[in-house]
Structure 1
Amino acid sequence: MDVSYSPLCALGAGGSVSPLVGDLGLCLVAAGVLAIAFVKLRIPAIAALLGAGVVLGPAGLEAVQDRASIDTIANLGLTLLLFVIGLEVNLKALLASGKTLVVTGIVQVPLTLAVGCAAFLVVGMTGWALLTGFYPALYLGVACAFSSTLLVVKYLQEHLRLDTVAGRLAVGLLIFQDIWAIIFLALQPSFADPSITPIVMTFLGTGVLALLATVIARVLLSRAFHIVARSPELVVTLALGWCFGVGLFGANLGTFVHRLGLDFEVSVSMEMGALIAGATIATSPYAYEVVSRVVHLRDFFVTLFFVGLGMSIPIPDSADVIALSAIVAALAVALRFIVFLPILYVTGLDRRNSVSVSTKLAQVSEFCLVIVYLGSQLGHISGTQVSVVIFAFVITALLTPILFATSDRLYQRLRPILDAVGIRSRGVKPEAESTEAPRLVLLGFHRIGSALLADLERLHPDLLPHTLIIDTNSAIHDEIRRRDAQVVYGDIASTEVLRHAGVGDAEVVVLTVPDELLKGTTNEQLVRQVRQLAPRAVIIASCTKVSQVAAVRAAGADHVFRAPTEVALGILPAIYAALNASLPSYLEALEEAHGTLDRRKEVID
C-alpha cells in the first residue's frame, strides 16, 4: 500500500499537524477504540494495544509515517518504568530475601537457558528448517530464560502486590535477569572469540554510577527537594530531572572517563541509570508523591511501547512460524515450573510463594526482542526466527494477566503434583505479605490536625505509632516524627499516594483540612476517593458550609464535622458558666482535665 494515499495517514497528518503528532494521535485513537471493545469482551487490555499497532503497522493499514519517532518516545516508557521500580522497591526487604533471591538469581538464567537450548537442539534433530544449527536453539533458549520487567511490574502494581513476598522476589529476580542480559549483550558480538573485559567494564560502570548517585542524592538532592517541597509539581519535575540526569550520565560515562585521560570503554544503559536514580531516592519522604505523579506519565509511554511493538509484528511467512512461536511460549511457561519453582523451594521459600513467583514470571521478556534483533544483525539468526520470538512474546503477554488472576487456583491444582514430586508444605506460615497498616490516618495537616496530634500525644500516646499523616508541608515532618507518628509526603488528592501509603487498610481516616485550604479538590471528592479505596474504614470528614453536610455524608463519610460548629459547642459551656457566675470554677476544672491553652505543645502554633 502506498503510505501517501492512506486515508488514515491523511487524517493523522492533515492540516498543520506535524507527522509525529499525527502518528501519536492515530496510535492513541486506535488504542482507545480497541481498548473499549476488548475490555467489554473481557480480553486482556494489552491485546488492544498490540492490536492497535497491528492495525496501523505494516501488517495492516500502514498508516503511521514516522515509526522511528514512535519507538523513541515509546522507549521512554521503559526508562520511567525502571525509575518507578527503583522508587518502590524496598531494598532492605529485598535483601532480607537472602539465600532464596541470591541463589535463584545467580543460577536461574543459566539453567533455564541450558534446558531451553537443549530442548530446541533435540527438536532440531527432526530436520525442522527453522531450527537448523546451534544459534537458533541458543536464541530461542534465551527467549525462554528471561521474563518481562514491563509486564510483571505493571501487573504487580495494578494488583497491589509489589510489596508482597512474591512481588519482592519477582522484582529481585528481574533485576538479576537484567544483569544476565547485560552479560549476554556484552558477549554477543564476540561469540566466536568471547572476552570478559566488556562484562567487567559494565559492572564497574554500574558500581561507579550507583556510588556517585547515592552520594549526590544524600548531599545535594535532599536539600533541593526541601527547597521545592511547597510545590508538588516541582518535586516531580526535580525527580524526573534526576532520573534522566543519572541515566544520561551513565550512558555517557565512557566520554567522561576519556576526558579524564583514562582509556576505558565503560557505559551504563539509560534504563539501568533510571533504576539507580529511583533507588537512591526511594527512602526520601517525597517518594510517594513522585510515584503518584510519574506513574500516569509512565503509563502513557508504556501504551505507546506496546502499540509500537504491535507495529513490529510481521505477517507470518508460513504456518511454521506460528507453530514454533507457540512451542517457544509453551516451553517458556513450562520452564518456570520445571526450573524456577524447584530452585525457589530448595533455597527456602514456601511452596505457595514458589508457585506464585514462578507464575508471575511466566512470559518472554521485551529484552529478548532486543537480543534477537541484534542476533539477526550479527548474522546469527534470520528475520524469520526473530518473528518467532516476537510472536512468542505476544502470546505470553496475552497469557500474563490470566496467570496473575489464576495464581491461587493454579496452586491448588498443582498441590497433588507437588506432593508427588517431593515439594511439600513445610507446615509454616508464609511471611507476612506487607507491613502493618496504619490504624488512624490524618489526611492533610493544618491547625485541626495539629490539635488532634497534640491531644493524641497527651491522652493516647500508644496510638501514635499506628497513626499516619499525609501532607506536603515537609518543614514540619521531622517534628511530627519526633512525636512517634508516621508521616509521608504526598498530595492527599492523589489516589496513588493514598494507595501506596496503605490508606486502604486503615481503620479510621480523618480529613482534617477545610475546603478553602484544599487545592484542586474538595472534601466531598476526597471522601469518594477514600471510600472507594477503603470500603471498610470509618471516614470522618470536614466541611465548611452547613449546606455541604448532606453531600459529604452521601459521598461516604460516617461523620461530618464543621470547625465553626465545633468551636461554638466548645465555647457554649464557658458562656453558660459565665452567665451563672461560675466561670472561675469551670476554667479550673477545664485546666485540670486538659491543661492550660498556653501550655499546649502543638506542631503548628
Structure 2
Amino acid sequence: IIIIKLLSDKREVDSLHGRIAVGFLIVQDILVIVAMIALNALSAADTSSLAVMTFLRILFSGLLFLVLVALLMRYALTPFLNFLAQSKELLVLFSIAWAVSLAAIGYSLGLSKEVGAFVAGVSLASTPFREVIGSKLTTLRDFLLLFFFVDLGAALDFSAIGSQVQEALLFSLFVVVGNPLIVMIIMGVMGYRKRTGFLAGLTVAQISEFSLILAALGMSLGHIHAPVLGLITLVGLITISASTYLILYSHTLYSYLCSWLDVFERQIPYRELADLPAAESRIDIVVFGLGQFGRTIVDLFKSKGYRVLAIDFDPELVRKAQAAGIDAHYGDAEDAEFIATLPLEHARWIVSAMHDQHPSLALQQTLKAQQYPGNIIFAVKENKQRETLLENGGMVFVVHEYAAQHVAQELLNLDMSG
C-alpha cells in the first residue's frame, strides 16, 4: 500500500520501473497468501487425529473458494456492478461489503480473513470499475492505514527493544541495501538500464505489510514467539520509514550515484535500447509526453508531413501511439544517458508536454549540457512553473487541456514563419 501510494503521488505507477515494482509486489503478496493458506492448513492438521484429511479439506475448500470467485468474476460481478454504477455510493458500499464478506468466508474456511480480503481486491480489480472504486476508497484506505500503524506500534514490546536494536539495524541494513542490489543485479543481467534497475530496486527496500501479517499469523499458531514478532515489527518500521524517503528522492539519489552504477548495466542494455529510434534517423520535432496536449501536437505536425518522434514513460501510451502509426518510444526525460541516444542533431523543435516541472527542468539541463541548438518548448499548468523554466531559456506555454489544439497550431505557425 505504501509503495503504491508513493509511486502514485509521484505519477510513476505507469512508468517502466513503476510497473516492474508493482509486478514485484503482486508476486510477493501472492506468495505470502499461498504461505498463509499452507500454514493454516498444516496447523489445523496438527491438532486433528485425521491430519491428512483435515489438510486436504482446507486445501480443497480454498481451491473451491477461488473457483467460485473466479466464476463470479467471469459471469456475474461485472454485470452486477454495471447496475450498481448508476449510483457511485452504492458502488462503494458494495465494494466494502464484498471485501468484508469474502474476508469472513475466508476466515470461516480456515484460510484467514487476509486471504479472503485479498481475493476480494483481485476480483474487483478485474472489473471495468477498478479505477472508480480505487479513487473512491482512497480516503478510507488512508484512514485505515493509520490504524494499521497503530496496531504495528502496539505490537512492539518496549521492554525487549533495547536488546533487539542491534539485530534490527543489521536486518534493516540488509533489506534497505541488499534488496535493491539484488534487484539491480537481476535487472542488469536481464538487459535493463541501470536507471530502471535502481528506481525499481528502491521500491523493494522494505519488508511489506503482508510480511507483518504473516509473522502475526506465525505467532498465533505458535511457530514464533513475541520477541521475534517484535523484532520483525521493528525491522518493518525502520525499513518502511527509510524506503519512503529513498523513493521520494529516488531521482536525486540516482543523479549522485549514477557514475557508480555502471557495473549493474550491460554494455548493450538490449531490453530498452531495442525500442530506440535509429541514430541516423532525421527527425523534425521531438515530443516528450503523450498526454492530451502532447498527442495533439504529434498528430498535428504528423498530418502536415513533419517527421515526429514521440517519447513517453508510460508503455501503454507508447503502444497506443505506435498502433496509430506514430514513431513512439519508451523513455524517461530525466535520464540524461537516454537523451544522449536520441537523434536530436537535425530536430528543429523539442517539446516538453509533461506539465510536471521536475522532468522538464531535468530535460532542460540535459539539452543545455549537450548544447542542443534548436528550439525548446515547455508546456506548464501554473505560472510559478513558467518563471523557473524561463530563467534557463526556452519558450514556455501555460497550457489548459481544452486549449491544446490552439497551442499546437501556434507552434506550427511559428515553425512555418521561422
Q: TM-score range by the shorter chain?
A: 0.5 to 0.7
TM-score by length of 1: 0.42
CA distance in 2, matches of 1:413, 1:184: 39
Report 1:30-49 matches (<5 A): none
Q: Which has the larger radius of gyration?
A: 1
CA distance in 2, matches of 1:288, 1:367: 23
Task: Judge conservation of contact 2:289–2:354 (CA < 8 Å) in 1.
Answer: no
Query: 1:176 maps to which residue?
Result: 27
CA distance in 2, matches of 1:353, 1:199: 39
Q: 1:248 to 1:342 in 2, by over 3 A?
A: same
CA distance in 1, matches of 2:71, 2:354: 34
Which of the numbers 98, 110, 117 marks the counterpart of 1:271? 117
Task: Judge conservation of contact 1:183–1:199 (CA < 8 Å) in 2.
Answer: no
- Which of the pair has the greater relative contact order for Cα pairs under 8 Å at 6+ separation? 1
Task: Judge conservation of contact 1:341–1:355 (CA < 8 Å) in 2.
Answer: yes
Q: How far off its partner does 1:204 sit?
A: 5.1
CA distance in 2, matches of 1:277, 1:390: 30
Q: 1:239 to 1:383 in 2, by over 3 A?
A: same
Q: Kindly report structure 1 stretches of 4+ aligned residues shifted beyond 6 Å.
A: 191-196, 264-268, 532-535
User: Identity over aligned residues, as a percent?
Assistant: 23
Which of the numbers 42, 55, 65 marks the counterpart of 1:205? 65
Residue identity opposite 2:12 in structure 1: R
2:291 aligned counterpart, secondary structure: coil
Task: Judge conservation of contact 2:183–2:201 (CA < 8 Å) in 1.
Answer: yes
Residue identity opposite 2:11 in structure 1: L
Task: Judge conservation of contact 2:191–2:265 (CA < 8 Å) in 1.
Answer: no
CA distance in 2, matches of 1:254, 1:398: 31
CA distance in 2, matches of 1:338, 1:255: 38
Which of the numbers 225, 239, 253 marks the counterpart of 1:382? 225
Query: 2:193 maps to which residue?
Result: 350
The Cα offsets for residues 541-568 of structure 1, whole Å up to 9 and x where unpaired, read as: 99xxxxxxxxxxxxxxx99xxxxxxxxx
Q: 1:415 to 1:538 in 2, by over 3 A?
A: closer
Equivalent pairs counted in the alignment come to 299
Q: 1:538 to 1:309 in 2, by over 3 A?
A: same
Which of the numbers 285, 292, 304 marks the counterpart of 1:438? 292
Q: Is 2:234 the counterpart of 1:395?
A: no
CA distance in 2, matches of 1:159, 1:358: 16
The Cα offsets for residues 270-297 of structure 1, whole Å up to 9 and x where unpaired, read as: 431342243123x34xx55544433223
The Cα offsets for residues 503-525 of structure 1, whole Å up to 9 and x where unpaired, read as: 957xxxxxxxxxxxxxxxxxxxx
Task: Judge conservation of contact 2:179–2:201 (CA < 8 Å) in 1.
Answer: yes
Q: Is 2:155 the counterpart of 1:312?
A: yes
The Cα offsets for residues 2-22 of structure 1, whole Å up to 9 and x where unpaired, read as: xxxxxxxxxxxxxxxxxxxxx
The Cα offsets for residues 360-384 of structure 1, whole Å up to 9 and x where unpaired, read as: 1110122222222222233332211
CA distance in 2, matches of 1:178, 1:158: 22
Q: Is 2:13 the counterpart of 1:158?
A: no
Report 1:559-598 matches (<5 A): none
Q: How far off its partner does 1:216 sit?
A: 1.9
Q: Is 2:266 the counterpart of 1:424?
A: yes
Which of the numbers 295, 302, 326 marks the counterpart of 2:138? 295
Which of the numbers 517, 524, 539 marks the counterpart of 2:400? 539
Q: 1:238 to 1:319 in 2, by over 3 A?
A: same
Query: 2:411 maps to which residue?
Result: none
Gaps of 5+ in 2: 277-287, 305-323, 325-352, 357-380, 387-396, 408-418
Query: 1:99 maps to which residue?
Result: none
Task: Judge conservation of contact 1:314–1:387 (CA < 8 Å) in 2.
Answer: yes
TM-score by length of 2: 0.58
Q: Is 2:202 the counterpart of 1:359?
A: yes
Q: How far off its partner does 1:347 sit?
A: 3.5
CA distance in 2, matches of 1:242, 1:310: 31
Query: 1:240 maps to which residue?
Result: 92
The Cα offsets for residues 59-112 of structure 1, whole Å up to 9 and x where unpaired, read as: xxxxxxxxxxxxxxxxxxxxxxxxxxxxxxxxxxxxxxxxxxxxxxxxxxxxxx
